[in-house]
A and B are shown apart, each in its own frame.
Chain A
Amino acid sequence: MRLVRAIGQVALAVLNTVGAVSLFALRGLAALLTGPWFFGQLLRQLSAIGFFSLPVVGLTAVFTGAALALNIYVGGGRFNAEQIMPQIVALGITRELGPVLAALMLAGRVSATIAAEIGAMRATEQIDAMRTLSTDPFRYLVVPRLVAAVIALPLLTVVADTIGIAGGWLVATRFLDFNATVYVRNTVDFIEGWDVVSGLIKATAFGFIVALMGCYYGYTASGGARGVGRASTHAVVAAAMLIFASDYLMSFWFSRL
């Protein structure tokens, strides 16, 4: 009986959170559609979320591309198919790893920052203060971050795709005796527009998730400095889990098209 009650409580809590997050997202969309809009804030967030994430995303992509190339070379070698390595690397990067890795780096970097920023503003009454200054914190704080992440993540994914493939190319030509030109040609001839586009669609959804989790947990933070820390952690964990889950759902859906 006690177990049933505990399970019921957990289930209710989960449903509660799902409902609260959905409402939060809808409120964000409504604010986005009705304005006023703070373009200065949007530019600021684009640079913070997008541009300053380039180093981590680039670094992650180049190493992943290189490691992926080595592993596929080894795996392909088990049935003498090393030569298809460029195609598999390109496919893996554009459809899956580019968007997912960029999103995960953003979850670690941006979700945490957003949750901490907004959470600290909540804890020090800055959000209340903003409202008394006739400015809607939702439009000033949340909407620019959501929009910036939705714009920035696909762009970062394009960079991650390019650099990831470059990483594979680098290993293949330096250590595995592939011809540089042939590698590139094989990649270009094999990759279809949809491989890249489906990755970018994923990235758009991930961008929304990353910013939404940061904003939601920051906005609802309570309990001072500890609450802010907790909000940060929750935002990163929730963003990462949602990225993986939605990645599978979207891959499944795309594979049926």
Chain B
Amino acid sequence: MTRPPPKLEWRGVSKRFGAEPVLNRLNLTVPAGCSLVIIGGSGQGKSVMIKLALGLIRPDAGKLLLDGKALPGLGGRLQRRLYGKAGVLFQGAALFDSLSVWENVAFRLINADGVPRKTARRRALAALERVKLDPDIAERFPSELSGGMQKRVGLARAIAADPEILFFDEPTTGLDPITAAVINDLIVDQVKRLGCTTLSITHDLASARRIGDEIAMLHEGQIVWRGPAADLDRTDHPQVRAFVDMQSA
């Protein structure tokens, strides 16, 4: 078997906060080019999964693998290589409020890649155009934008350096259905364009169906169900049913 290793893998990962176990020997693989969406109620450790993969927190046990190699966590060389290939859209967009919109989008280019400001600005404007934002807002500050526009700027920042892996943390939370649909479409467009692997977490099923090739359900610290997006309505797994029915009601 010479199948390529999965792009990203959680192998027996456990994490607890205080006495509270959040992830319990979690195993999950994301094949290259796949768009996987993790669903689950709040407090089930979805955010923790992403933060572990990004090395923002350390696992208590188990390990994270990128292209089959273990990630050492916080600050290691491989971790930095992951950051070089990854783009993240945070829940609240997490734009830097002291920087203008284009400086936010070009942050990695200017501060990590040493791209000259003029080139960086041009690339930032191009990224803004890809998420269908008017170049006029480039000079504005994040606090002057609506929530939906902030998310779009966040998306532009995530894709500005053409990443191989994209992470989406609750991309539609706090948005009205119409804006959420726009964001979902933009995400799908960009993922297709870049042909990259994505991992999203959400509790919004509409969003999960739109973005995901595959859907996995996280419950009590473990993946309890995984399948193609279309199977979501056919499965008789009790937790998935409960989650799906609750949202359609």
A contacts B directly in the complex (CB < 8 Å)? yes
* Residues of chain A having any CB pair with chain B under 8 Å: 38, 117, 120-121, 124-126, 128-136, 140
CB distance from A130 to the nearest CB of B (A): 7
Docked-complex contact A130 and B80, CB < 8 angstroms: no
CA distance A38 to B95 in the complex (A): 19
Docked-complex contact B94 and A133, CB < 8 angstroms: no
The answer, among B80, B83, B92, for a CB contact under 8 Å with A125, is: B92
| B interface residue count range (under 10 / 10 to 19 / 20 to 34 / 35 or more) | 20 to 34
Docked-complex contact B96 and A126, CB < 8 angstroms: yes
Docked-complex contact A128 and B94, CB < 8 angstroms: yes
CA distance A129 to B150 in the complex (A): 14
CB distance from A167 to the nearest CB of B (A): 36
CB distance from A222 to the nearest CB of B (A): 12
Docked-complex contact B108 and A134, CB < 8 angstroms: yes
Q: Mark B35-64, 1 if CB is under 8 A from A, else 0.
A: 000000000000000010010100000000
Q: A38-B111, A140-B111 are in contact. Are A131 and B92 (CB under 8 A)?
A: no
Set of chain B residues within 8 Å of A136, measured between Cβ atoms:
75
The answer, among B98, B112, B167, for a CB contact under 8 Å with A134, is: B112
Docked-complex contact A133 and B112, CB < 8 angstroms: yes
Docked-complex contact B54 and A132, CB < 8 angstroms: yes
CA distance A125 to B89 in the complex (A): 11
The answer, among B95, B108, B167, for a CB contact under 8 Å with A126, is: B95
Docked-complex contact B90 and A125, CB < 8 angstroms: yes
Q: A124-B94, A134-B83 are in contact. Are A129 and B88 (CB under 8 A)?
A: yes
Docked-complex contact B94 and A125, CB < 8 angstroms: yes
Set of chain A residues within 8 Å of B56, measured between Cβ atoms:
128, 131-132
CB distance from B58 to the nearest CB of A (A): 14
Query: Is B5 in contact with chain A by the CB < 8 A criterion?
Result: no
Set of chain A residues within 8 Å of B54, measured between Cβ atoms:
128, 131-132
Within 8 A of A (CB), among B53-84: 54, 56, 75, 80, 83-84
